[in-house]
Amino acid sequence: MRLDLVLEELLPHPIEAVWRALTEADAISDWLMQTTGFQPIVGARFRLKTQHLSASGWIDAEVLQLEPPWRMTWSWSADGGAASTVTFELAAEGKRTRLRLTHEGEIEPEAGRIVTAGWPGRLERLASMIGKET
């Protein structure tokens, strides 16, 4: 199936705090999934531990674009399947930050349903986690 998911959230946190949560491995492990090998460097390959999206339990990912603190794009592939892309775009709005998440590409239908249903909750966890740090 073709995944073309776009979500926007206005977070009550400064852009620097949101960027940290998106680009620090420990933070990603807290709000998204356990990660190994993540570095905020173009070309960095890393893995995300999942219970639902992959028979192997892992999503293989790579940082494709990085424009601190505005934009980051990952390649995202479960079990060697076609890679989709996840893009995080940030825009400061006063002391708040608008986060636009885009997840697009070819994906197995069941994985697509899980991803579509799962991202909103992950973004809620992101906002909650940042709230505890600031």
Q: What is the mean pLDDT of the chain?
A: 93
- Give the bridge partners for 62, in sequence order: 45, 75
Torsion 58-36-90-12 (CA) sign: positive
pLDDT score recorded for residue 87 = 98
Task: Provide the residue type at 3 as one letter.
Answer: L
Distance CA 125, CA 122 (A): 5
Spatial CA neighbour of 81 closest among 100, 43, 51, 53: 53
Q: Which residues have a Cβ under 8 Å from the Cβ of 28 and sit 6 or more positions away?
A: 21, 22, 35, 38, 48
For residue 95, pLDDT beyond 60: yes
Query: 71 is in which domain, residue-wise?
Result: 2-133
Q: How many domains does the chain have?
A: 1
pTM attached to this predicted model: 0.93
Whether pLDDT at 51 is above 80: no
| For residues 91-106, average pLDDT | 97
Question: Does residue 2 surpass a pLDDT of 90?
Answer: yes
Over residues 60-77, the pLDDT tens digits come to 999 999 999 999 999 999
**Which CATH number goes with the domain that contains 8?**
3.30.530.20
User: What is the rounded CA–CA span in Å between residue 86 and residue 92?
Assistant: 20
